[in-house]
Structure 1
Amino acid sequence: MGQWLLQIEKKILAFLMALSSIALVLVGIIITFFLFKEVYHLFTFALAIDTNTIYYDALESILSFFLFFEFLTLIITSIKNQGHVSLSFLLTLGLTALIRLLLTYHDQVFGLVVIAISIVLLLFGMTLVLKQEKGEQHEN
């Protein structure tokens, strides 16, 4: 009876892993579409005659491009590693997102301070994770 349940569990797990991989590929295709759409917008902004009025639109398009690029990189990494993504990679994505937010956020000083403190905390966390990963590599 125990072996039978174990086999059912393995089949369900294999089905869910396949479904997860298919979903990741579909999301990757959609993100790729939006990535190229942002590239198109960047080219139209670059060829525009009146660049003073579309400066912020171009900046928003550039930031959106990098956001889509980071998500696509995350999906590719996840597919390559069968659903596993390293903590240092996720911390790097968070750090770049916060830096991008810091560049565009100008509403309140308190918000800027919170974002800056978050960046420092992420840098501290990345340092700890990288030291731990380096220590594990030397042990092997």
Structure 2
Amino acid sequence: MKIVELSMVLKIIPKVLQIFLNFCLVLLSLILSFLLIKELTMFLKIFMTDGSSDYKMFIANILIFFLYFEFITMIVKYFKEEYHFPLRYFIYIGITAMIRLIIVEHDHPIDTLIYSLVILILIIGYFIMNITPLERPNRQK
């Protein structure tokens, strides 16, 4: 009798955790959507102010906007692809984040070189990921 109860509990735990994870991701996507709208209002403020020639701040805000956008897109893809995060979205986010760092913090040439090498490594990883076959051996059930 106890083995049956333990078996039922072991089947319920992953479902409860999946529901909790989905709820947290929906909540995170709502927060990111709010921040995305906030970035849009910042764009308008920067764009509408006369004499604002701080193009670095404008470009940095654009890249932050894309980071929020990519995270929201990744969450949408997670639900569309039956609870799976595509690796390529993490690579896109990494490349965008590194480009933002190069634009915003380009005072030290060695740091800029390292950021550029990170971008190169991410692009090589993306290329390798695209040339490998998608067929994977099926798991034994």
TM range (shorter): 0.7 to 0.9
Q: Is 1:136 aligned with 2:134? A: yes
Question: How far off its partner does 1:16 sit?
Answer: 0.6
Question: How far off its partner does 1:39 sit?
Answer: 0.5
Who is 2:14 aligned against? 13
Question: How far off its partner does 1:91 sit?
Answer: 1.7
- Partner Cα distance (1:89, 1:77) in 2: 9
- Partner Cα distance (1:6, 1:77) in 2: 32
Question: How far off its partner does 1:2 sit?
Answer: 4.2
Residue 56 of structure 2 contacts residue 104 of structure 2 at CA under 8 Å; is this kept in 1? no
- Partner Cα distance (2:56, 2:96) in 1: 20
Aligned-CA RMSD value: 2.0
Who is 1:102 aligned against? 102
Q: TM-score, normalised by structure 1?
A: 0.83
Higher helix share: 1
What one-letter code is carried by the residue in structure 2 that aligns with 1:97?
Answer: A
- Partner Cα distance (1:67, 1:130) in 2: 22
Residue 29 of structure 2 contacts residue 72 of structure 2 at CA under 8 Å; is this kept in 1? yes
C-alpha spacing 1:39/1:76, structure 2 compared with 1 (3 Å): same
What one-letter code is carried by the residue in structure 2 that aligns with 1:30?
Answer: I
1:136 aligned counterpart, secondary structure: coil
C-alpha spacing 1:19/1:96, structure 2 compared with 1 (3 Å): same
2:30 aligned counterpart, secondary structure: helix
Q: Is 1:117 aligned with 2:117? A: yes
C-alpha spacing 1:56/1:117, structure 2 compared with 1 (3 Å): closer
Question: Which ranges in structure 2 are unaligned for 5 or more consecutive residues?
Answer: 136-141
Question: How far off its partner does 1:22 sit?
Answer: 0.6
Q: TM-score, normalised by structure 2?
A: 0.83
Residue 43 of structure 2 contacts residue 58 of structure 2 at CA under 8 Å; is this kept in 1? yes
